Structure 1
Amino acid sequence: MKLITKWLLSAMALLFVAYVYTGVEVRNFTAALVAAFVIGLFNMVVRPALVVLTLPVTVLTLGLFLFVINALMFWAAATVLEGFNVKGFLPALVGSVIYSAIGVVIDSALERLFPKK
């Protein structure tokens, strides 16, 4: 139940990002659902490998390079999907920061609603 709720709220967060920032476009809620799924999948599969491969750069930039990795995951999802469009790297960076901030709020709220046993 928690996973489905997080997925739905993440799709709504993606729609919110598209609403407040013109560099990100989402056609409809179905496209947002698919995009939230693909972003989550990329973050689960590809992101850990990128984090390990770019560890020296991440250390040199005191962790700021992780924002670039998040933007790349966001942008990669947009290139794979129809109905979800990001207009370039800088919009991907801004969109991923907004999306991640909303994701932190969603995770915090879901922890309170569905506490670990």
Structure 2
Amino acid sequence: MDPRLNLALRWLLNALALMLLPELISDLRVESYTAALLTALLLGLINALIRPFLILITLPITLLTLGLFTLIINALLFWGVAGLVSGVHVPDFWTAFWSALLYSLLTWLVNIVLADGK
């Protein structure tokens, strides 16, 4: 598959995963597909560019908690991105925590389905 098509399909499926989350988490609201697309794009960029740096600077506490602190980082990044995008409402940390966890699982499944077999 063409890499650009693969990337666009991943982006669309990740946005669809975001649209599914409010069905599973009652306090989360995603008001439009446009908001989901923008959120998926920002989450992808932040997870690629900022998350590795955050994990590196929090490495001692991440090692101390046997990696569980990365769940906190994911939740804070999810909550932060939701705060930037109008149309996505995450009222508290625990909603962000569970949303980020489920979103990670759904995007992991998308990545497995779209893996190119290498």
- Give the corresponding residue for 2:108: 104
- Give the corresponding residue for 2:117: 115
2:59 to 55, 58, 61: 55
State the Cα distance separating 1:46 from its structure 2 match: 1.2
State the Cα distance separating 1:7 from its structure 2 match: 0.2
State the Cα distance separating 1:24 from its structure 2 match: 1.4
State the Cα distance separating 1:23 from its structure 2 match: 2.3
Q: Aligned to 1:22, what secondary structure does the other structure show? A: coil
- Unaligned residue ranges in structure 2 (runs of 5+): none
Q: Aligned to 2:66, what secondary structure does the other structure show? A: coil
The residue type equivalent to 2:71 in the other structure is F
Give aligned-pair identity as a percent: 39
State the Cα distance separating 1:64 from its structure 2 match: 0.3
The residue type equivalent to 1:91 in the other structure is T
- Give the corresponding residue for 2:8: 4
- Give the corresponding residue for 1:20: 24
State the Cα distance separating 1:68 from its structure 2 match: 0.4
State the Cα distance separating 1:48 from its structure 2 match: 0.9
C-alpha contact (below 8 Å) 1:26/1:84 kept by paired residues: yes
The runs of at least 4 aligned residues of structure 1 exceeding 2 Å deviation read none
Give the total of aligned pairs.
Answer: 114
Please give the residue correspondences for 1:82-97 in structure 2 after superposition, counting only pairs within 5 Å: 82-97=86-101
Alignment partners' CA distance in 1, 2:27 and 2:95: 5
- Give the corresponding residue for 1:34: 38
Alignment partners' CA distance in 2, 1:24 and 1:40: 19
- Unaligned residue ranges in structure 1 (runs of 5+): none
User: TM-score scaled to structure 1, two decimals?
Assistant: 0.94
State the Cα distance separating 1:27 from its structure 2 match: 0.5
- Give the corresponding residue for 1:77: 81
